[in-house]
Every structure is written in C-alpha cells, then in structure tokens.
Amino acid sequence: MGLGPVWRLRRRQEAAAEAPEEKASPGWIELKAAVPACTACKLHQGRTQTVFGVGDEQADWLLVGEAPGAEEDRLGEPFVGQAGRLLDSMLAAIGLSRRDNVYICNVLKCRPPGNRNPEPDEVAKCTPFLLRQIELIGPKLIVAMGRFAAQTLLDTDASIASLRGRVHRYAGLPLVVTYHPAYLLRNLPDKAKAWEDLVFARRTMQAL
C-alpha cells in the first residue's frame, strides 16, 4: 500500500531538512553588501573603503582595471581624477559613457598599500567578486586596461604590446587589451595606440 498524502508531505519535509543547504548566488544587493564587509585578504587592513565598480549594470561593455589607487580609495569610485577624465573622453569619442552603456571596475576591490602590485593570493581571494559582477552584468565584451589586469585575467606574463590587437577570452567572453589611462598620462605617445585599441574593441563588438 502506498503512503498517504500526510506521510508523503512529511517525508519531503524531512528530505529537505537533511539536504545540504544550497547557497543562492548573490544578487547586486548582496554583492554590494559583501564587498565592503570583506576581510578575506590583508588589503582590508589599509583601505579607506572598498571600490566596487560603477556604471550601467546591464552594459555590453565591461572595462576592468587593476586595483584602486589613492583617489579611488578616498572616493570609492574607480577611475577618477585625471586618468578617469582621460578614460571618459576616450569613451565619449566612440559614443560610450560610464553612465549609460559601460561598467567599470577593478580586479581588486581594495587599494594595495603604496600602489604596489597586487599579490597572487589577493587576486585569488577577490576574483569571485569580479566573476559574479560579470555574471550579473552579462557584458558582451571585456576590455582589460593595463598590464596587470591583462596578465591577471589572461593568466599570462606576456607584455601588453604582444596582447594588443587580438581577441582573447575570459569567463567565456571576448576580451581585448589596452593600456591603463594612468599609464597613458605618463606616456602620451601611446595614446594613439590606446585609441587604436578602442577602435579595435568597437569593431570586435560590432562583429559579435
């Protein structure tokens, strides 16, 4: 004889109670609360605040830099100051804006002391935040800005020069490489190359 409905219900409740708890992936609200509370690596000790990211949360374009600098750490927003203004004007030249159709963030959400390079364990601890941002945004194209971001995302020691002008892949998405705007401020002749990269990125986007 089969089990009655009350017993079937009780069995299901018991099975649910015994099943390992499945953690739902965080949405934007949970993620934005988790990052400022994060103490997973030693960088939390020296930060003024975390720098989560900014822009259109459904953007087709995702720009990823290295880590917050002093101004970003102070203001809580990535790519501010002179470098940020340069980036904004380059984006505007191809019809993009961090307010409308671009999302900007860094590999690391906390500032490394003295702007030193991030260390591998810090990258490993922080990368899940970036990966979840990518899942939530669902961009069509990633632009890695600067040597560190490019080398980290592509897991390579290759130079920016050798990585530019090609379509790579990260997290299943096309990725192109360009210079960091802070580098361009110190090396003005390379602005022309960065412009070529953006035009290449736009062409890549149009072909997707």
> Would you tell me which residues interact with ligand SF4 (CB under 6 A)?
35, 38-41, 43-44, 50, 108-110, 122, 125-126
**CB closer to ligand SF4, 130 vs 194:** 130
C-beta of 109: minimal distance to ligand SF4 in Å?
4
Count of all residues that appear for the chain in the document:
208
Q: Determine the Cα–Cα distance for residues 148 and 119; give it in Å rounded to an integer.
A: 11
**CB closer to ligand SF4, 149 vs 163:** 149
Tokens 């990260």 belong to 170
C-beta of 126: minimal distance to ligand SF4 in Å?
3
C-beta of 120: minimal distance to ligand SF4 in Å?
12
**CB closer to ligand SF4, 91 vs 104:** 104
| End-to-end CA, the chain | 59
C-beta of 186: minimal distance to ligand SF4 in Å?
25
Rounded to the nearest 10 degrees, the angle between the axes of helix 191-207 and helix 81-93 is 50
**CB closer to ligand SF4, 107 vs 137:** 107
Residue 46 structure tokens = 């020296």
C-beta of 48: minimal distance to ligand SF4 in Å?
12
Burial classification of residue 39, based on how many CB atoms lie within 10 Å of its CB (0-12 exposed, 13-18 middle, 19 or more buried) = exposed
**In whole angstroms, how far apart are CA 46 and each of 79, 81, 114, 122, 176?**
19, 21, 10, 13, 32
**CB closer to ligand SF4, 66 vs 122:** 122
